[in-house]
Amino acid sequence: MTTFEIQPNTFRHWSLLVDDNVATLELAVDSQAPAFGDYELKLNSYDIAVDIELANAIRHIRLVHTEVQCVVIKSALEGMFCAGANIRMLAAADHSHKVNFCKFTNETRLEIEEASELSGIRFLAAVNGACSGGGYELALACDHILLVDDRSTSVSLPEVPLLGVLPGTGGLTRLTDKRHVRRDRADIFATKAEGISGNEAVEWGLVDELAPPTEFDEAVGLRAASLAASSTRLRGESASLPPLKISIDQESINYTWVSLQLADTYAELKVSVAQTPDWLLQTARELDDALCRLRFDFPEIGSLILRTEGSIEDAAALDEELRLSEDNIQLETALLWKRCLSRLDLMSKTLVAAIEPGSCFVGLLLELALAADRTFMLEGQFEEDEIPLPAATIRVTESNMGQLPMWNDLSRLASRLWGDEDSLDKISEILNRDLTASEAASFGLVTTTPDDLDWNDELRLFIEERSSFSADALTAMEANQRFCGPETMATKIFARLSAWQNWVFTRPNASGPEGSLQRYGTGSRPRFDNRRT
């Protein structure tokens, strides 16, 4: 099973060094430590294990090393920054892993950009050697790219000319939308396998600055100091990120406040609430880990039932704590919840919220229900219980009005009720009020409200129906419906690049016996079917 929580002192591919207000992340991929299979990670190429370490390093910088104002990303290899995703890994991986690999790496690079925009941490890519594919896409996520000017080092996106696929981590979108590279120049660059270097790379906007080899380290230090001086990050207390406590068996994955019950075609995820000092941070970490495990290790599970458990008032107090605190750690905790919920939005699984007596879908936790494709809320009580719990209620708070936006920059509430301004206005007038099932339905907040006689059958029949549909069609349908409204750079990356990339991955031109991924490095050229579709 894939491990997603890794402590920096156990990294195999990255090293994290913090010196005052500057952190250095240095990449030296252990070529003999692939995540799976027997491929060799040559030339600082990466697989999912390398990117999981990067994601953990960014998380520790944000929550533990709160003094850091600039992060330098560099390579320990002479003349080689990063060759991007490992081609042998891509050729060996099944389609599900390819999809989730691209999705995870996209999320990590978007987190780098979020850390710059919302946390004030600046990022410098110190490109000391060849920088291609996903390596350049990592550099593109940074605020500033400093390229060594040695007459040979270039930046490139060689996927189209060399591999018959597309850059899978936002490279094409960042060229035009972020760095404003002219469209015709972007076309030349993305079809020029050897890439572009030196003054031309600066002129086209592909990098920001050059430095000769003899002055490169000095230039990195000066630029890092300059970026740190421009940081808006406030220093504050640091958080503790001990290893998660996880218990795993064939039928469940259990954490302290999050639990997963696993069945053949569906899983049930429950978040339990408690008034403990570390609940907000701990639960976000646990939920994020659970979602990543579901993605990578359980592709056969097509539906995810979302539940909560605990006191409504405790949930409301935690929601208020997250919203009102100006503490640096609380800010980072809120942003971690935002990223975790965004990961939920991108799950290639049907999301079903089950709101019943004993639930606490309030504010922050109501976001789970608002993310769902269908929301079931029990009308009344379970009459057969010896001591029936009070009827289920939900509570909308300020947290649901845009403080935890989706990748389309809309709240989940606005996405759910897109174009229905009257309903949104009415909901804004009943914040912090408990709503019964019938009231929630009248505001459009839930899909259906069965009574206790029909509750179990309704959920069971829905899961059975979902399991009878094409998984491919459901994934495409759900992704289309979850992200309405305006496009952002993030929605373009996920919708265009992830979808197109992984469609291309399944085509014979890439993955067939004579395709580019199979013949790469063999000395024989791929044979392409040149019919456009």
> Are both 281 and 378 inside the same structural domain?
yes
Across 440-454, average pLDDT: 96
Tokens for 380? 């009344």
Contact between 369 and 306 (Cβ < 8 Å): yes
For residue 511, what pLDDT band results from cuts at 50, 70 and 90? Answer: confident
Of 429-433, 487-491, 528-532, the one with minimum mean pLDDT is 528-532
Instruction: Report the SS3 class of residue 106.
Output: helix
> Are both 317 and 434 inside the same structural domain?
yes
Across 466-481, average pLDDT: 92
Question: Given this model, what pLDDT does residue 148 score?
Answer: 98
156 belongs to a structural domain: yes
Question: Given this model, what pLDDT does residue 327 score?
Answer: 80
Give the count of domains, the chain.
2
Task: Name the more confident of 199 and 507.
Answer: 199
307 belongs to a structural domain: yes
For residue 349, what pLDDT band results from cuts at 50, 70 and 90? Answer: very high
What's the DSSP call for residue 392? P
269 belongs to a structural domain: yes
Side-by-side strand order, sheet with 129-132: 79-82, 129-132, 154-156, 196-197
Mind giving me the DSSP string for 226-279? HHHHT--PPP-PPPP-PPP--EE-SSEEE-SSEEEEE-SSEEEEEEE----TTH
pLDDT tens figures, 523-532 = 888 998 888 8
> Are both 116 and 211 inside the same structural domain?
yes
Mind giving me the DSSP string for 450-462? --TTTHHHHHHHH
For residue 71, what pLDDT band results from cuts at 50, 70 and 90? Answer: very high
| CA 386 – CA 293 distance, rounded (Å) | 37
> Are both 218 and 256 inside the same structural domain?
no
End of a domain among 229, 256, 278? 229
* pLDDT beyond 80 at 363: yes
CA 475 to chain centre: 17
Side-by-side strand order, sheet with 252-254: 247-248, 252-254, 258-262, 266-272, 303-309, 350-355, 374-377
Across 449-476, average pLDDT: 94
| CA 85 – CA 45 distance, rounded (Å) | 5
Across 15-40, average pLDDT: 95
Angle, helices 95-119/328-345, rounded to nearest 10 degrees: 150
Strand partners for 154:
197
Question: Given this model, what pLDDT does residue 170 score?
Answer: 92
Instruction: Report the SS3 class of residue 95.
Output: helix
Mind giving me the DSSP string for 42-64? GGGEE-HHHHHHHHHHHHHHHHT
Question: Given this model, what pLDDT does residue 116 score?
Answer: 97
> Are both 74 and 197 inside the same structural domain?
yes
Across 431-457, average pLDDT: 96
Give the count of beta carbons closer than 10 Å to the beta carbon of residue 196. Answer: 19
Instruction: Report the SS3 class of residue 71.
Output: strand
For residue 496, what pLDDT band results from cuts at 50, 70 and 90? Answer: confident
| Residue position matching structure tokens 């030339």 | 43
508 belongs to a structural domain: no
Tokens for 83? 């060759």
* pLDDT beyond 90 at 385: no
| CA 337 – CA 364 distance, rounded (Å) | 8
What's the DSSP call for residue 161? I
* pLDDT beyond 90 at 459: yes
> Are both 186 and 260 inside the same structural domain?
no
* pLDDT beyond 80 at 502: no
Length of the chain: 533
Domain containing 418 — which CATH number?
3.90.226.10
* pLDDT beyond 80 at 501: no
> Are both 165 and 262 inside the same structural domain?
no
What's the DSSP call for residue 407? T
- H helix and E strand count, the chain: 21, 21
| CA 82 – CA 25 distance, rounded (Å) | 13
510 belongs to a structural domain: no
Q: How far is CA 237 from CA 55, 64, 69, 234, 459, in A?
A: 21, 8, 14, 10, 45
| Residue position matching structure tokens 């990117």 | 51
Average pLDDT in the chain = 94
For residue 504, what pLDDT band results from cuts at 50, 70 and 90? Answer: confident
| CA 86 – CA 107 distance, rounded (Å) | 18
Question: Given this model, what pLDDT does residue 144 score?
Answer: 98
For residue 476, what pLDDT band results from cuts at 50, 70 and 90? Answer: confident
> Are both 149 and 257 inside the same structural domain?
no
516 belongs to a structural domain: no
> Are both 216 and 280 inside the same structural domain?
no
For residue 234, what pLDDT band results from cuts at 50, 70 and 90? Answer: confident
Q: Which residues contact 36 (CB under 8 A, 6 or more apart)?
A: 47, 92, 93
65 belongs to a structural domain: yes
Q: Say if residue 311 is exposed, middle or buried (CB neighbours under 10 Å; 0-12, 13-18, 19+).
A: middle
> Are both 283 and 338 inside the same structural domain?
yes
* pLDDT beyond 90 at 342: yes
> Are both 178 and 324 inside the same structural domain?
no
Across 453-475, average pLDDT: 95
| CA 181 – CA 194 distance, rounded (Å) | 18
CA atoms lying within 13 Å on the CB side of residue 355: 34
Residue 444 Ramachandran class (φ > 0 left, ψ -120 to 50 alpha, else beta): left
* pLDDT beyond 90 at 229: yes
424 is in which domain, residue-wise?
247-482
Task: Name the more confident of 107 and 385.
Answer: 107
Considering only CA atoms, which of 182, 142, 138 is closest in space to residue 157?
Answer: 138
Instruction: Report the SS3 class of residue 259.
Output: strand
Residue type, 168: G
| Residue position matching structure tokens 């089950």 | 354
* pLDDT beyond 80 at 270: yes
What's the DSSP call for residue 26? E
506 belongs to a structural domain: no
Q: Which helix (H) or strand (E) segment is 84 a member of? A: strand 84-85
> Are both 206 and 335 inside the same structural domain?
no
| Residue position matching structure tokens 């991986």 | 93
| CA 97 – CA 107 distance, rounded (Å) | 15
* pLDDT beyond 80 at 326: no
| CA 371 – CA 269 distance, rounded (Å) | 14
* pLDDT beyond 80 at 325: no
Question: Given this model, what pLDDT does residue 261 score?
Answer: 98
For residue 215, what pLDDT band results from cuts at 50, 70 and 90? Answer: very high
pLDDT tens figures, 391-400 = 999 999 999 9
